[in-house]
Structure 1
Amino acid sequence: MEIRPFTIDVPQPVLDDLRERLARTRWPSEPESDGWARGTELATVRRLAAYWADGYDWRAQEARLNRLQHVVATVDGREVHAIHERAVRPDAPALLLLHGWADSFHRYDHVVDLLTGRDPAVGPDAIVFDVVVPSLPGFDYSEQPDAGTFSGTQSAEVVASLMAGLGYHRYLVHGGDWGSVVAQEVARAHPDQVAGLHLTDVPFPNLFLVDRETASDAEQAMFAAIDAWSANHGGYVAIQSTRPLTLSYGLSDSPVGLAAWLVDHFAYLSETMPSDDDLLTNVMLYWVGNSVRSSMRLYNEGPDADWGDESGAESWGSADGEADAGWAGEGDDAAWSARLEVPTAFACFPRDIAQPPREYAERFFDVRRFATMPRGGHFAALEEPRLVVDDLRAFAAELDQTAAPTG
């Protein structure tokens, strides 16, 4: 595998074009007092756009990102970007961190130094890790796959190949959102390589493997919460699953439109909104790579490829599907519904989409640790980095650091 160093360096004409587009923004006709009821608050987007055009310093953020070691690896003929940071001590366990949507590798910007031990606040006896943070295929600086070949399972093979190419043959995997889906599939395909899974949610498509008539009271409460979320906030899933290209014309052309679409998810899934710099840096990674359309392909292509036929895909925008709706699969897909025996930990944050009870997680995983966090939301590593790091360390200690790399 060809692996080479990579430095983020956005050409100045791209930044000049962005500033011109921001200056030409045509705003929607919407009452200022309407708040967030119908989408991303107009006052918030106006404030972010003004700061983006005159105040936000991309070059400073670029330098911050470049403090970390970036690499590009060629996997199956396509480039995959990743952060690869070694721990301050040799022979540290390896840790693979997987982001989702509407975030990016930037989700983990505030945890890398804590996990590697480079942050001065990390004590000498703390467990430290070699950290790998890929951009999933189609995101940021990773090339998108060929048409019709984009799924959680296929993304898992890409990141597993990346880890092998970097010399890691046993490692921990952490993920949230689509990152939890990809993490699950890495463990399913390579259980000998994954020493443990650490997830912030039970992968969303697992919902469709459960016959609700067999669900416990706590599981029924979770299903009801997800149904309510789908009705009030899940429209983006249906759109990105069915008409992603139509949406992408606007988001690829308008930086304000892109920011509004992405920031909306941080607003209702975070207990404490990330800083303006963090929000805009995440948006910038989508903008400069023009990757919003390719990032949506997991919604449009991923479910059919991984979890069943088109009859199952009809339920992708809601939580009303049943186990026989196509998601459980038949034949080759039946293995997807098998329980994973890789040791697994969950760190559940109160502002996430729903709060899964432990018995629900145990349907799919060998749950060794199940922590309910005091605060935080869906993008936990960005919002509450120390809570995520502390729980990862606690899980690694319970596993007796069996994830030590061999290469």
Structure 2
Amino acid sequence: MSDTIRDFQIDIPQSALDDLNTRIDMTRWPDPEPVGDWSQGIPLDYVQKVADYWRDSYDWRRCEDMLNQYPHHMTEIDGIDIHFMHILSPEATARPLIMTHGWPGSIIEFMDVIGPLTDPVSYGGKAKDAYHLVVPSLPGYGFSGKPTETGWGVERIAKAWDILMLRLGYDRYFAQGGDWGALVTSAIGVQNQGHCAGIHINLVVAGAPPEEVLQNPTPDEQSSLARFGAYQTQGGGYAEIQRTKPQTLGFGLADSPVGQMAWILEKFQGWSDGATTPDDSFDRDRLLDNIMLYWINNTGASSARLYRESFGSPDFEPVHLATGCSIFPNEIVVPSRRWAEQRFKNLRYWGEPSKGGHFAAMEVPKLFLHEVRSCFGGMDL
């Protein structure tokens, strides 16, 4: 294994963009849904509107320029090329922070918070809130390499992230994540190899509710249990497919850009805060930026495979490392503090923002920034 860090620039050939347009033009559409809502999935009319915009108005080169304003690198860890952005703060007192995305997100989720986190003074903030940011792409996602063997679950990724931070010269750092990024970050806390000083997560996976929650739930806990029950019966089918047969799913996602787009966009509607369509909560170009990282890198199957690798692993081992949790109201799982404390034994920060959902850094960046700063502001390296 080489510990070399190579510079990397995003430069997608025009032939790939031409191929995308051809495939959009050749889409064979399904019949329209027989209902007037999203209960059977993403509606035909909405997908066609977004596809038309993608084909005729969307500008990938704008996204490419936006991404390339930051330093990108590659390094091999445990046989896999890991892509990451490394953005240094101008502040001498800045502290290192690794931030991890999930599915169906990407590094695009963090575009609106990179500037305020690395250079808070330029955004009206305080120098004490500055961070040196490391923003990797998960294995099998974005520009990172795709595992060719089994075993790349969240625990292995957590170990890789610790190696990455040490390789960059950070022997003490903080870690943050949502979705799979939250599980990777929690695994960093479980492993507690002596380098991470504290974690912040905005998807709090705490295991089964404790007996006192089941026997005597508060109104908020009753709502949380009902919400998760509805997710399991009506919203979790995608996860079961990706957990059990990611390869089969991958054939459709690799061949059809509209299929890949629909598979992702549905979640940006269901997991945002009160959106009728994803456009109500997110900029359409930003949504397509995120989808493009899946399409141009052909990661439909490789990203789904993380579900196969990670479900059923010991995700609920106790975390004794200093932890902060932010519970955005439209998150998939919204445990109470006493529920979370059964797993996170050193809970230093607990935040309940007024709005936002699963993609908080992208949907409500100002609230997300407040949560991250409030959490790590109370922790020392």
RMSD: 1.9
Alignment of 1:6-405 (within 5 A): 6-31=8-33, 34-117=36-119, 120-203=122-205, 206-208=206-208, 216-218=216-218, 219=221, 221-271=223-273, 272-304=280-312, 306-307=313-314, 337-365=316-344, 366-399=346-379, 402-403=380-381
Kept in 1: contact 2:176–2:201 (CA 8 A): yes
Structure 2 distance, partners of 1:148, 1:215, is 40
Residue by residue, what CA displacement relative to the aligned partner does 1:43-77 show, whole Å, maximum 9, x if unpaired? 22111101110010000111011111111111123
Unaligned segments of structure 1, at least 5 residues: 308-335
Shift of 1:145: 2.2
Structure 1 distance, partners of 2:265, 2:121, is 28
Shift of 1:33: 6.3
Kept in 2: contact 1:171–1:194 (CA 8 A): yes
Q: Which amino acid aligns with 1:86?
A: L
Kept in 2: contact 1:32–1:42 (CA 8 A): no
Structure 1 distance, partners of 2:310, 2:215, is 26
Unaligned segments of structure 2, at least 5 residues: 274-279
Shift of 1:351: 1.1
> For residues 119 and 213 of structure 1, do their structure 2 counterparts lie closer, same or farther at Cα, with a shift above 3 Å needed?
closer
Q: Which amino acid aligns with 2:322?
A: P
SS at 1:295 equivalent: helix
Kept in 2: contact 1:113–1:119 (CA 8 A): no
Kept in 2: contact 1:197–1:345 (CA 8 A): yes
Moved more, 63-72 or 239-248: 239-248
SS at 2:98 equivalent: strand
SS at 1:17 equivalent: helix
How many residues matched? 370
Kept in 2: contact 1:104–1:135 (CA 8 A): yes
Residue by residue, what CA displacement relative to the aligned partner does 1:363-406 show, whole Å, maximum 9, x if unpaired? 1111111111111100000111111112211222211xx23xxx
User: Structure 1: which 4+ aligned runs deviate by more than 4 Å?
Assistant: 208-216
Q: Which amino acid aligns with 1:352?
A: E
Shift of 1:14: 0.6
> For residues 148 and 13 of structure 1, do their structure 2 counterparts lie closer, same or farther at Cα, with a shift above 3 Å needed?
same
Kept in 2: contact 1:209–1:337 (CA 8 A): no
> For residues 212 and 288 of structure 1, do their structure 2 counterparts lie closer, same or farther at Cα, with a shift above 3 Å needed?
farther
Kept in 1: contact 2:242–2:304 (CA 8 A): yes
> For residues 31 and 213 of structure 1, do their structure 2 counterparts lie closer, same or farther at Cα, with a shift above 3 Å needed?
closer
Residue by residue, what CA displacement relative to the aligned partner does 1:100-122 show, whole Å, maximum 9, x if unpaired? 11111111111111100167323
Shift of 1:354: 3.0
Kept in 2: contact 1:212–1:220 (CA 8 A): no
Moved more, 262-271 or 115-124: 115-124
Kept in 2: contact 1:252–1:258 (CA 8 A): yes
Q: Which amino acid aligns with 2:197?
A: A
Residue by residue, what CA displacement relative to the aligned partner does 1:245-269 show, whole Å, maximum 9, x if unpaired? 2211111100000000000001010
Kept in 2: contact 1:35–1:42 (CA 8 A): no
Q: Which amino acid aligns with 1:395?
A: C
| Alignment partner, residue 333 of structure 1 | none
Shift of 1:88: 1.6
Identity fraction in percent: 36
Shift of 1:197: 1.0
> For residues 124 and 212 of structure 1, do their structure 2 counterparts lie closer, same or farther at Cα, with a shift above 3 Å needed?
closer
> For residues 210 and 359 of structure 1, do their structure 2 counterparts lie closer, same or farther at Cα, with a shift above 3 Å needed?
closer
- State the TM-score, normalized to the length of structure 1: 0.86
Shift of 1:222: 2.6
Q: Which amino acid aligns with 2:331?
A: D
Structure 2 distance, partners of 1:202, 1:103, is 17
Structure 2 distance, partners of 1:212, 1:261, is 38
Shift of 1:4: 1.3
- State the TM-score, normalized to the length of structure 2: 0.92
Structure 2 distance, partners of 1:155, 1:352, is 23
Structure 2 distance, partners of 1:150, 1:6, is 23
